[in-house]
């Protein structure tokens, strides 16, 4: 069963995954900072995406483009004209809302007034700022609302320098910014977030086949990393739901505590973006196919996921409560590749001779994995903490270790314990953990 959101918010704060941002100043609503465990989890999510989408493939390369780009990029992409949400304002308390997010279309959820809303007005979602010291319209620039456009404007640069032929993809992971009217649900919808996007360029007559291929690949990615199949759904958009650039889109939805909601969109973007950037920049972004002697503008299939939402889904999916010998055990059964700490080293005593061995063991493990040496509290409490943060293995150093030069290795999921010689510890763990 999926836990409720508060359970995960509390665990995240208590254990150091995610903190409300600017907390000592009273907080900045909807902004979050990732603590020591959260930063590892988020990085592991992004690393897994990068490994499978870029490193292990011959047909995809990476890029890291600027957050602030020429303002014309956002004119060509259609964002300046149409990246907005409708907004109503309560004329009594002056709070603003998205009409489609209101429980009651005629009642203000803050002050309770009825029939106090203005007519909806379009509210632009891009963050604007000024480039340079002078605040003037001609110096207006935007923080990117998606990483995708940084890929399109570099299509020719990358294709030429990486010497790629169609079909091939360009991937990017990075921060995006949207001035969301209703940021909500912890790290699910925030104004600053990270995207993992890949634009796959292909021949127009092959684009439907590649679309189906990427839907399948992305499904396998989530399942392989442990998301339960019953919590994942692929939903095709109806015609009236499609974005201005797309002819087909699937939402990858996860069963969040509040219902099905989007983790990723997989869109058939046709040749919309390359054509638009060719037109606005005056640069030819077509492709010459040496095999068929044809010149054309490639079509694009785009899997676009949010790293933060995906991390939240992995946390929710991994959360288990079990009964062990009449006591409740909370355990995050995160896939080993995602677990923030892979091995905990736990001394049974703080005595010098034990701590010396602990340091030796830790030094052996550190080059391979993210580890933690935990010396505080009783061993039972330390196991519970490691279970709760999803650490797959705990290595205990005890007084017997001083005689037999062996340690106890405890498995998070089975709670089984093996006695392993210190000289064989790295090999033992290597068989069980990704390096």
**What tokens appear for 383 in the block?**
């196991």
Q: Name the residue with tokens 């989890």.
A: 41
The C-alpha atoms of residue 266 and residue 246 are separated, in whole angstroms, by 10
Nearest to ligand GAP of 60, 389 (CB atom): 60
**One of 263, 341, 345, 409 touching ligand GAP (CB under 6 A):** 263
Between the alpha carbon of residue 268 and those of residues 50, 250, 265, 312, 398, the distances in Å are: 21, 9, 10, 26, 58
Q: Which stretch binds ligand GAP (CB under 6 A): 113-121, 256-264, 279-287, 288-296?
A: 256-264
The C-alpha atoms of residue 230 and residue 140 are separated, in whole angstroms, by 46
Q: From the CB of 308, what's the least distance to ligand GAP, in Å?
A: 5
**One of 8, 88, 148, 301 touching ligand GAP (CB under 6 A):** 148
| Residue 89 contacts residue 119 (beta carbons within 8 Å) | no
How many residues touch ligand GAP under the rule CB under 6 A: the total is 19
The C-alpha atoms of residue 248 and residue 270 are separated, in whole angstroms, by 9
**One of 59, 180, 261, 388 touching ligand GAP (CB under 6 A):** 180
Q: From the CB of 81, what's the least distance to ligand GAP, in Å?
A: 16
Q: From the CB of 295, what's the least distance to ligand GAP, in Å?
A: 26
| Residue 261 contacts residue 188 (beta carbons within 8 Å) | yes
Instruction: Give me the residues paired with residue 319 across strands.
Output: 332
Residue 255 in the binding site for ligand GAP (CB under 6 A)? no
- The footprint of ligand GAP on residues 305-334 (CB under 6 A) is 305-306, 308-309
Contacts of 182 (CB under 8 A, 6+ apart): 97, 98, 101, 189
The C-alpha atoms of residue 417 and residue 405 are separated, in whole angstroms, by 16
Residue sitting closest to ligand GAP (CB):
306
Residue 261 in the binding site for ligand GAP (CB under 6 A)? no
Q: From the CB of 112, what's the least distance to ligand GAP, in Å?
A: 28
The C-alpha atoms of residue 280 and residue 77 are separated, in whole angstroms, by 10
**One of 44, 77, 172, 195 touching ligand GAP (CB under 6 A):** 195
Q: From the CB of 190, what's the least distance to ligand GAP, in Å?
A: 5
Q: Which stretch binds ligand GAP (CB under 6 A): 258-266, 291-299, 383-391, 425-433?
A: 258-266
Nearest to ligand GAP of 276, 397 (CB atom): 276
Q: From the CB of 121, what's the least distance to ligand GAP, in Å?
A: 20
Residue 169 in the binding site for ligand GAP (CB under 6 A)? no
Closest CA to 307 of 65, 46, 55, 48: 46
216 three-state secondary structure: helix
Residue 253 in the binding site for ligand GAP (CB under 6 A)? no
The C-alpha atoms of residue 326 and residue 231 are separated, in whole angstroms, by 29
Q: Which secondary structure element, helix H or strand E, spans residue 397, and what is its range? A: strand 393-397
Residue 38 in the binding site for ligand GAP (CB under 6 A)? no
Residue 189 in the binding site for ligand GAP (CB under 6 A)? yes
| Residue 93 contacts residue 108 (beta carbons within 8 Å) | yes
Contact set with ligand GAP (CB under 6 A)? 146, 148, 178, 180, 189-190, 193, 195, 197, 262-265, 302, 304-306, 308-309
């Amino acid at each position: 069963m999926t836990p409720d959101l508060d359970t995960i918010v509390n665990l995240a704060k208590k254990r150091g995954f995610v903190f409300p941002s600017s907390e000592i100043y009273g907080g900045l609503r909807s902004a979050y900072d990732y603590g020591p465990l959260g930063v590892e989890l988020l990085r592991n999510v992004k690393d897994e995406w990068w490994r499978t989408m870029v490193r292990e493939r011959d047909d995809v390369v990476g890029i890291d483009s600027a957050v602030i780009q020429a303002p014309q990029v956002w004119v060509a992409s259609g964002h300046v004209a149409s990246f907005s949400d409708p907004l109503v304002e309560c004329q009594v308390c002056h709070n603003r809302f998205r009409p489609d997010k209101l429980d009651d279309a005629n009642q203000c959820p803050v002050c309770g007034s009825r029939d106090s809303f203005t007519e909806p007005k379009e509210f632009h979602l891009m963050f604007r700022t000024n480039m340079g010291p002078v605040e003037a319209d001609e110096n207006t620039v935007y923080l990117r609302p998606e990483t995708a456009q940084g890929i399109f404007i570099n299509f020719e640069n990358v294709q030429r320098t990486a010497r790629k032929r169609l079909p091939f993809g360009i991937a990017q992971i990075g921060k995006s910014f949207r001035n969301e009217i209703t940021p909500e649900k912890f790290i699910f919808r925030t104004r600053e977030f990270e995207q993992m996007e890949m634009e796959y360029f292909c021949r127009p007559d092959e684009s439907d086949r590649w679309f189906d291929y990427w839907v399948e690949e992305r499904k396998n990615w989530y399942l392989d990393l442990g998301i339960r199949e019953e919590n994942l759904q692929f939903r095709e958009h109806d015609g009236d739901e499609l974005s201005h650039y797309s002819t087909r889109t699937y939402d990858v939805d996860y069963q969040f505590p509040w219902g099905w909601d989007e983790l990723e969109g997989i869109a058939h973007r046709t040749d919309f973006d390359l054509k638009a950037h060719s037109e606005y920049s005056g640069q030819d972004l077509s492709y010459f196919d040496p095999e068929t002697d044809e010149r054309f503008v490639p079509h694009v299939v785009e899997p676009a996921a949010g790293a933060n939402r995906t991390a939240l889904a992995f946390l929710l999916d991994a959360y288990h409560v079990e009964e062990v010998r009449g006591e409740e055990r909370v355990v995050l059964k995160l896939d080993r590749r995602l677990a923030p700490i892979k091995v905990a080293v736990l001394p049974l005593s703080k005595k010098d001779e034990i701590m010396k061995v602990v340091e030796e063991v830790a030094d052996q493990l550190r080059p391979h994995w993210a580890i933690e040496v935990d010396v505080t509290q009783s061993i039972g409490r330390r196991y519970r903490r490691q279970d709760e943060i999803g650490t797959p293995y705990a290595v205990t150093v005890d007084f017997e270790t001083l005689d037999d030069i062996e340690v106890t290795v405890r498995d998070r999921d089975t709670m089984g314990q093996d006695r392993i010689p210190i000289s064989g510890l790295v090999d033992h763990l290597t068989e069980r953990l990704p390096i």
